[in-house]
Amino acid sequence: MNIPRQFYGINYLSRLLNNFHDTDLSEYPKLEFHEIEDIEELPLEKKDTGSLGINAEELSGLLRRLVTDRRCALDGLAIAKDEKLIFAGYRPPYSASTPHITNSTCKTVIAIGIMFAISEGRLKKEDTVLSFFPEYETMLTPKYVKQITVEHLLTMTSGTKCNEVTAVVEANWVKAFLLTDCQYEPGSRFIYNSMNTYMLSAILTKVTGKSVMDYLRKRFFAPLGINHIKWELCPMGIERGGWGLHISLEGMLKIGMFLANDGAFQGKQLIPVPYIRQMKQITVSQDVDELATEYGYQLWHLPDGLYMLSGMYGQHVIIDEKHGLVVATNAHSDKMFPDSMLVRHITACMTDKKLYQQKPAMREKTAYHKLMQEFQAFCNDWGLPKVSKEAPSILYAIKQKKLKEADILKVKDMFSLFDGKRLHIDQASIKLFPYMLQGMYQCPPFVVTDIAFKKQENTIKICFYKERNKKENEKREYLIIEAGYGKYCHQTITLGQDKQEIAVKAYPATDEDGHSVIKLDIVFPAAGFSRIIKFFILENRIGIECQEYPDMWAIAGQVLYGETTLAGTKIDLTDKLPESVRVFVEHKVEPNVNGYFAEHRKV
């Protein structure tokens, strides 16, 4: 079992675990970005399925599968053909106004940037990485590190042991990469590792004298009409490369179109054709993912000639170049690689001949209107219409709005029990922020022992108190958020040096025994993370249960009880971890606790 060197170091491990310790909110670091906000947007022309030769009934079936299969955890969906948009939209609280993080989807954007630089003679794919950073070469530089080339980075075959943990425990990521030995000889084995892409970002910055965003602005983003973009930076001010790009679904679609058209968009060739074709060629075979078993330059190749840009938890762009079809998704699934039900549903539809076999004109037109009604239901967070000829769209919409209004009245009434009271968690605590937010952004978990409530006309104001500090007479930290009744209330909270946009709603439910439940959904739309706190209303106490999405427990379960991938190496940790770790995950990640109402205090 090959485990990266960092995991053997007590210092590295302790620094990594520090991210999951509760600290003052004032210690939360500010996240820096490079942003583009002034490009003229080029909206995609919208066309119906009939004019594009697409079977609307088949797309309707795909939409239903993606929405109803919980394993897909769909947040946003966009489909286009021949540079014409069929539809694009999000379920609440996600929207195009808050670009969603794309995770590893942006690796392909870095590869595109490298191909632009190669086409301009700024570098060659055979160049060694050290040739760009000679200041880090010493007599102790490992032999294999000296051999790593740009192409090794592009194809994930550098063999480096320097993995994503570096982003948490180091300030100088370039230095850490070049001082870390290789697990395998460069070029000999595929090891998926985001630090490869970060190094491409650093190289692009070095050879152009510009940030990645500035370099690609006129060459790529502006010609595609992609605006409202931001890219997270490393501590040295370089775009993170392998992750951290926030962009809309339409922007993701346009990137897919650019690739499908060999570097052209709306009839304009932006880069010589051979460079993009080389990028799309199958370069290596790999066994990290069972569905996408071949890899190009930061691109996954799927069966039947499809290829994709892929980011963990369901941020994907899937391309059928033969038919000019591009599908983009945002999601919050627990899958980190392409092989997922989300991708399998989409690829099965895209490769089905029935998708391109249209019905007679009138039937196709009717099916298209039904498809758009269903997509509108998804965008409004309504239940999908029944598969039948009943429920005209106007009547259906009225019915759904009445159901939402009933939920609002119900949750308002349920909160009467909480109004003006403080709930104390008995002999335990809960964590307010998602674990994934802590792991990726060093956000403290904010351990909560008391929660106070105050009803307002349109929202419920909720004050979360941190557990008492051991220091005497020190004021307790607290955080106030507002939840909408049955619909999301958007707001900005201050966490230390940073600000985070969140959307929060409270809605009614019942448990398996028929007890009333209030669900509080706290969403971080830009990051795609959410925390759900369930309040079970019992006779003389309140039960509290926490969940988070992407499903932290499912991800932890993959690591603890089955095969997972660490730095590109498949490992099985079953029966290899201390029992104490298992207990921590089972009882701390998703705690079930009890609370009781303490004395009356104002919120």
Q: What is the pLDDT of residue 476?
A: 84
* Shared domain check, 420 and 309: no
Q: What is the pLDDT of residue 579?
A: 59
Q: What is the mean pLDDT of residues 349-370?
A: 94
* Shared domain check, 237 and 154: yes
The answer, yes or no, to whether residue 517 has pLDDT greater than 70, is yes
* Shared domain check, 468 and 323: no
> Which residues constitute the domain of residue 563?
414-597
Q: Give strand ranges (E) for 347-394.
A: none
Q: What is the pLDDT of residue 603?
A: 44
* Total domains in the fold of the chain: 2
- Residue 379 placed within a domain: no
More confident of the two residues 297 and 585: 297
Give the orientation angle of helix 273-280 with respect to helix 249-260, to 10 degrees. 100
* Shared domain check, 341 and 435: no
Q: Tell me the pLDDT band of 581, cut-offs 50, 70 and 90.
A: low
- Residue 202 placed within a domain: yes
* Shared domain check, 119 and 38: yes
- Residue 84 placed within a domain: yes
**Which residues touch 385 (CB under 8 Å, ≥6 apart)?**
370, 373, 374, 377, 391, 396
* CATH number of the structural domain spanning residue 336: 3.40.710.10
Task: Report the alpha-carbon distance of residue 564 to residue 571 in Å, rounded.
Answer: 6
Burial class (CB in 10 A: 0-12, 13-18, 19+), 376: middle
Dihedrals φ, ψ of 281, to 5°? Answer: -65, 145
* Shared domain check, 128 and 231: yes
The answer, yes or no, to whether residue 374 has pLDDT greater than 70, is yes
- Residue 514 placed within a domain: yes
Q: What is the mean pLDDT of residues 380-392?
A: 71
Q: Tell me the pLDDT band of 13, cut-offs 50, 70 and 90.
A: very low
The answer, yes or no, to whether residue 63 has pLDDT greater than 70, is yes
* Shared domain check, 345 and 441: no
* Shared domain check, 437 and 557: yes
Q: Please report, in angstroms and rounded to a whole number, the separation of the first and last CA atoms in the chain.
A: 53
Q: What is the pLDDT of residue 16?
A: 45
Task: Report the alpha-carbon distance of residue 14 to residue 274 in Å, rounded.
Answer: 47
What is the DSSP secondary-structure string of 97-130? TSPEE-GGGGHHHHHHHHHHHHHTTS--TT-BGG
The answer, yes or no, to whether residue 426 has pLDDT greater than 90, is no
Using an 8 Å Cβ cutoff, are 564 and 334 in contact?
A: no
Q: What is the mean pLDDT of residues 209-234?
A: 97
More confident of the two residues 591 and 15: 591
Using an 8 Å Cβ cutoff, are 358 and 53 in contact?
A: yes
Q: What is the mean pLDDT of residues 62-87?
A: 97
pLDDT digits (tens, 9 = 90+) for 537-551: 887 789 999 988 987
pLDDT above 70 as % of the chain: 87
**Region of poorest pLDDT, from 114-118, 157-161, 290-294, 481-485:** 290-294
What is the DSSP secondary-structure string of 414-433? HGGGTTT-EEEETT--EESS
Task: Report the alpha-carbon distance of residue 80 to residue 89 in Å, rounded.
Answer: 12
* Shared domain check, 268 and 347: yes
- Residue 300 placed within a domain: yes
* Shared domain check, 431 and 292: no
Q: What is the pLDDT of residue 435?
A: 81
Q: Looking at 304, 330, 354, which one is the last position of a domain?
A: 354
The listed range with the strongest mean pLDDT (9-23, 34-48, 375-389) is 34-48
Task: Report the alpha-carbon distance of residue 587 to residue 580 in Å, rounded.
Answer: 10
Q: What is the mean pLDDT of residues 248-263?
A: 98
Q: What is the pLDDT of residue 471?
A: 58
The answer, yes or no, to whether residue 577 has pLDDT greater than 70, is no
Structure tokens given for 257: 């179109």
Q: Tell me the pLDDT band of 8, cut-offs 50, 70 and 90.
A: very low
* Shared domain check, 216 and 305: yes
**Region of poorest pLDDT, from 266-280, 421-435, 517-531:** 421-435
- Residue 394 placed within a domain: no
- Residue 324 placed within a domain: yes
Q: Looking at 333, 354, 375, which one is the last position of a domain?
A: 354
* Shared domain check, 437 and 308: no
> How high does pLDDT run on average in the chain?
88
The answer, yes or no, to whether residue 95 has pLDDT greater than 60, is yes
- Residue 76 placed within a domain: yes
